[in-house]
Amino acid sequence: MPELPEVETSRRGIAPHLEGKNVKGAIIRQPRLRWSIPSDLNDIISGQTLHRVKRRAKYLLLEMDSGHLIMHLGMSGSLRILPPETTPGPHDHFDLLVGDCCLRLCDPRRFGAVLWSDQPLDQHPLLTQLGPEPLGDTFTAEYLFGCSRGRRLAIKSFIMNSKMVVGVGNIYASESLFLAGIHPQRAAQRISLARYKKLVTCIQDVLSRAIQQGGTTLRDFQHEDGKPGYFTQELLVYGQEGKLCTQCNNPITQRRIGQRSSFYCKKCQR
DNA sequence: AAATTCTCCTGAAGGC
DNA sequence: TGCCTTCAGGAGAATT
């Protein structure tokens, strides 16, 4: 389930293979992802130079001469760098041919996206509503505390809302709240500024460490070279129901919050 | 305005 | 062995 660390890991992995290279074309095997891949994409991008591989939230942005290719990994997407002649598997829906290599998108559940934008990115409807980057300067406790006034929803749902802060998905939301000692069901407006300071630090800490470990591999995620991420072994609560809390030895609880399965320690998190 | 529910999709896992 | 049901989830859209 790609969250910010997995997308950033993918970005860092693919960028050296793509930046400054000539775009040879695109192969669409299955256009029906979350939105349809534009059928004229090959004509648009062939011959352009791919200048830079950027990231905003969980979107990968491949900057070319006349616009950007926007890619999203959904929940089961992964990218590989392969020789162009490599035989595609059943879920290899899209190839971008760049220089001498092939950027291949595999996405079994097809919640991902491949789109083209020739407008300035800050005007793109998918990007305009996004909150601050969690590892950027504008993501502060004061900001989050301010947003939370009058909001009664669970803090876990609150920090997973991309209008508040981007890139915090189901795994890292549970992990951050555990590290901060905050119960995931607690109403966002009933958390003090001091506790938001702790939370912001914990979100940044867990995301940074996950990037260092190359992300979390649970099922589908893999690096551009096919290797897994190693943060999986550092997960303290996510998927750990029944196991003992590393802080107090009480069993980890699992329950659904806002349609998402959530993991926490009843004793450590209030 | 805020909060909740629905929707897309496939594979894994559990029940009988 | 096999068929059925349930669950997993990113996030925009629709609904309450």
Write the pLDDT tens digit of every residue in A70-94: 999 998 999 999 999 999 998 999 9
Task: Give pTM, 2 decimals.
Answer: 0.95
Nucleotides of B under 7 A from a protein CB: 2-12
Check if the beta carbon of residue A237 is closer than 8 Å to that of residue A264.
yes
Model pLDDT, residue A88: 92
C-alpha to C-alpha distances, A190 to A147, A178, A233, nearest whole angstrom: 12, 17, 32
pLDDT by residue (tens digit) across A16-61?
A: 999 999 999 999 999 999 999 999 999 999 999 999 999 999 999 9
Helix intervals (H) in chain A: 4-18, 41-45, 125-128, 141-148, 155-160, 170-180, 193-212
- Identify nearest nucleotide to residue A163 by CA to C1′ distance: C11
Positions 134-193 in A, CB within 7 angstroms of strand C: 160, 162, 169-171
Instruction: Take residue A99 and report the two structure tokens written for it.
Output: 């220089």
Overall average pLDDT of the A106-115 stretch:
93
Q: Is A260 annotated as catalytic?
A: yes
Reported as a pLDDT band with limits 50, 70 and 90, residue A114 is: very high
Reported as a pLDDT band with limits 50, 70 and 90, residue A98 is: very high
Model pLDDT, residue A257: 92
